[in-house]
Structure 1
């Protein structure tokens, strides 16, 4: 079988047979986290009017109201991703929920499907995207593409095809069509453009539209993943690892390994913020004390968070600051926290001044991408201190409690909704598998 055929078979089996309880529990918690992040994002200046670009329809928008299903998936995906607060599977560097959550919500509402179909579609989209990222780790990014959007489009189409009830042949076509529409570059790094948020949004929309086109009779190439001009060669320069990754689909479940994010900035920066918090907790180290700070950075992540260093010290905008290693560390020193509000305003001079006392050097034996590691050395007039983090908190080998994620959801959702509404949303999402339909969830989100 081709890769698309194997993925379509996996998706059909999953929607029919379900998934292990451990996977289901993880899916509910990750979905809750993603929806909370998207709700918070919809309140941020600059994001509030995005829904105006979506044609009218019946699918729920996290910003309120409804839109045409494909457009709703696109806008919701952009909202979930725009804060850089959405979860990540570390080894594949896939932001799965930013594709899977808006896709599953939109296609379930389009089809009038059950909550069970919604959550299982969410799992399918995640699992497939992870496998594509793991088939060529780091290769997509090295060529300037975001694997979330490329692999996400394939997973989204596979999931959507099953919720819409497509047979095997048409489900394979949906995946083939999606492969031809997959994209998502890292060009935003040049000036901090907010269109980066759209990468998973486009992938989610591609999933919806590819399945609908296949349902209407359009065909797509069954060899879209492995052919000479297919996804793996075009976006990653090869895909020798694809067969190995697809061989265990439905046997080894990888969604439970996805890491929750505890700061709304690039995930590569998180272990550095943790290390800095360790230093600050020792006492006697504050923003005005810092003579210099050296960050030892895994070379594969440096192009994203260190280059050019002058921009990562003095970003072009608050949004651009989310990829500024120096700026984020300086924000932690100045404010004692890095949260959603940290990036809502223009870059602050007092933060930039602290960032400009920082330098970076390559880290040896870093273990990336399996580990997101960090080391910092801080100098003050009185002393030198250092700290090291070998793996980012929230990863499977450094897990956070479910209560922490529910608290994160509440903090995010209460930017828009009352505590009572937030409680209703939490209960609904965490029990969505048992819901006969998505009607009540849609009502809670859009009113």
Structure 2
């Protein structure tokens, strides 16, 4: 019973394989870039104001400052606002086997709790944070696999990351195994088992459920600390889920399953985006050469559709419009999330000329991976078809360090000074080597306001 809790308590920094540490460092830097852009969105502005109004800090729990904002709130409030901020820009790390994202809940939650411990005179070190993050990610991934493997509905990441957050926060709070076990049970029971396909079919600011999964996990750990009971977490204990937990501590899902995104849109669209880009570049084409497009992909991706998105939320959870954007502009970055892109005449022409087709074969094989191919029908009569492909950024086709650096630079440009952006990235990539004093300095940089007027920036780029 509670093997995962014993794992979390017994885990030492030196037990964490170096390839897992590399993923945690890379994810930290990647999420800093995503959070920077996310801080300019309406989602971030609303949820930060809510946290400031309704989730004030109490002396006994310590003060946690909100990411790129600085206002002091409770750890749960900072986790709530931070998770929504990161999830507002769909560009963070993920796991295809889990069909979701761990970092968007785990990083803001554990950073918030670590910041509150600093404020209470109990500052963690970088190695403490690394150990808690690794435990939280590993438990989240396995809980996600167990949840998807035992229920028929497709739940958002908030459902299973709440469990990992509870375990990671429990580790930072130095709870014993029994209390961490109860924290996981509380988080699982109260976490948001929200329906992912609802937000695919009707895209809104709800996103991936992590905005409530994060504070649910944080609250669960603090509740368990005071003796509140909730075990067992049925996705982490029992014969029905043993297949996903039996090798915990012997192998690591983190290194095997974590992917990174080049584009801030739903991962299901990425193989088609990559295929379209490859065809355009390899054949020296411009969008004016393209008459029609056909996207062949798996069932869930077809549900993305998106021929006529009316908001950035609808554009983010679509496939046709991002593919048309790549064909027309040759890139999909923060600028392509600005409202004017929805009215771009050339993008809309291509989107209206795109056929989206479900392939039974791709649906069958898109389990741990996502498959698609693209056909371009050119105005000169040529027909160009890509090979079947999965998206770049998976572990078997990883992004290069230069690509990750380029993404970070693009996401932070105009929002952070070059020196601050560089300091944040350098420290994120070495955070586990920082002592408590220098980790606290990193928190100062992460929670200070953006180096621009975020509201004016948002009006220009992200406001509806």
TM-score between the two structures when normalised by the length of structure 2 = 0.86
d(CA) in 1 for partners of 2:12 and 2:170? 11
SS where residue 356 of structure 2 aligns? strand
d(CA) in 1 for partners of 2:279 and 2:70? 45
Counterpart pick for 2:68 among 48, 56, 63: 63
- TM-superposed deviation, 1:226: 6.9
Partner residue of 2:278? 278
Unaligned runs of 5+ in 2: 58-62, 118-122, 449-464
Quick check: 168-177 or 359-368, which moved more?
359-368
CA separation of 1:154/1:144 partners in 2, compared to 1, >3 Å: closer, same or farther?
same
SS where residue 385 of structure 1 aligns? strand
CA separation of 1:282/1:428 partners in 2, compared to 1, >3 Å: closer, same or farther?
closer
Contact 1:265 1:322 in 2 (8 A): yes
d(CA) in 2 for partners of 1:381 and 1:409? 37
- Structure 1 residues 402-435: Cα deviation after superposition (integer angstroms, max 9, x where no partner): 3322332232233421111111111221221122
Unaligned runs of 5+ in 1: 233-238, 307-311
CA separation of 1:64/1:18 partners in 2, compared to 1, >3 Å: closer, same or farther?
farther
CA separation of 1:123/1:94 partners in 2, compared to 1, >3 Å: closer, same or farther?
farther
Count of residue pairs brought into register by the alignment: 424
d(CA) in 1 for partners of 2:295 and 2:93? 24
Counterpart pick for 1:9 among 6, 11, 22: 6
Contact 1:103 1:122 in 2 (8 A): no
Contact 1:371 1:390 in 2 (8 A): no
- TM-superposed deviation, 1:139: 6.6
Quick check: 63-72 or 270-279, which moved more?
63-72
Partner residue of 1:173? 182
- Structure 1 residues 30-50: Cα deviation after superposition (integer angstroms, max 9, x where no partner): 111112111111123553343
- TM-superposed deviation, 1:334: 2.0
Structure 2 counterparts to residues 4-403 of structure 1, below 5 A: 5-15=2-12, 18-45=15-42, 47-55=44-52, 56-57=56-57, 58-66=63-71, 67-111=73-117, 112-135=123-146, 137=148, 143-146=153-156, 148-183=157-192, 184-186=194-196, 187-196=198-207, 199-225=209-235, 240=240, 242-257=241-256, 258-283=258-283, 285-303=285-303, 305-306=304-305, 312-345=306-339, 347-350=342-345, 351-366=347-362, 367-382=365-380, 383-403=382-402
CA separation of 1:354/1:31 partners in 2, compared to 1, >3 Å: closer, same or farther?
same
- TM-superposed deviation, 1:388: 2.4
Contact 1:92 1:369 in 2 (8 A): no
d(CA) in 1 for partners of 2:32 and 2:236? 34
Could you list the structure 1 runs, at least 4 aligned residues long, displaced by more than 6 angstroms after superposition: none
What RMSD, in angstroms, separates the aligned Cα atoms of the two structures?
2.2
